[in-house]
Amino acid sequence: MTNRIAVFGGTIVLTVLALATDGRADTISYADAVSLLANDCGSDIRKYCKGLNLGGGRIQTCLEQNEGKVSPACTVTLANVITSISQRQSAQSSFATICKHDIAQYCKSVKGEGNVLSCLNKATRVNEGQCGQAIIDAGWR
């Protein structure tokens, strides 16, 4: 089946990088992170980074090189977005280690990472522990 995604004009729903009580920022999705970047840095990117692609750190480098010219909101957002993306990556790579005990306890016979995740998400006790938090930080709940 082929589906079609189209981008329509409208309002961006901003996800705020809220600080949790322990001082650690909650992670947000990659989509929300780069939406913030597009919203707060879009005009600066079009002005100072024309022709440069998002990949290879080129937009980041360009915005940093033009720090004196880009809007203060963009500078703050860029730093937040970089932090958020790296936090989510780190949560995703530490999932297997953090959840090892819960997997052994609740989902021992389950095969395949996707099935293990579904199993963990159904186990109520997991939700309350570190593994549950890791799943949330990874963006998988």
Question: Which residues here bind other proteins, judged by CB under 8 A?
Answer: 1-13, 29-35, 37-38, 41-42, 45-46, 49-57, 85, 89, 92, 112-114, 116-117, 139-140
- State in angstroms the smallest separation of the CB of 7 from other proteins: 6
- State in angstroms the smallest separation of the CB of 117 from other proteins: 5
Phi/psi of residue 94, each to 5°? -95, 0
- State in angstroms the smallest separation of the CB of 129 from other proteins: 19
CA distance 61 to 99: 36
Cβ within 8 Å of residue 141, ≥6 positions away: 121, 132, 135
Nearer to other proteins, 7 or 20 (CB): 7
Nearer to other proteins, 25 or 38 (CB): 38
Q: What is the DSSP letter of 12?
A: -
Nearer to other proteins, 25 or 140 (CB): 140
- State in angstroms the smallest separation of the CB of 6 from other proteins: 5
Phi/psi of residue 106, each to 5°? -105, -25
Nearer to other proteins, 23 or 56 (CB): 56
The three state secondary structure string of 88-133 is HHHHHHHHHHHCHHHHHHHCCCCCCHHHHHHHHHHCHHHHHCHHHH
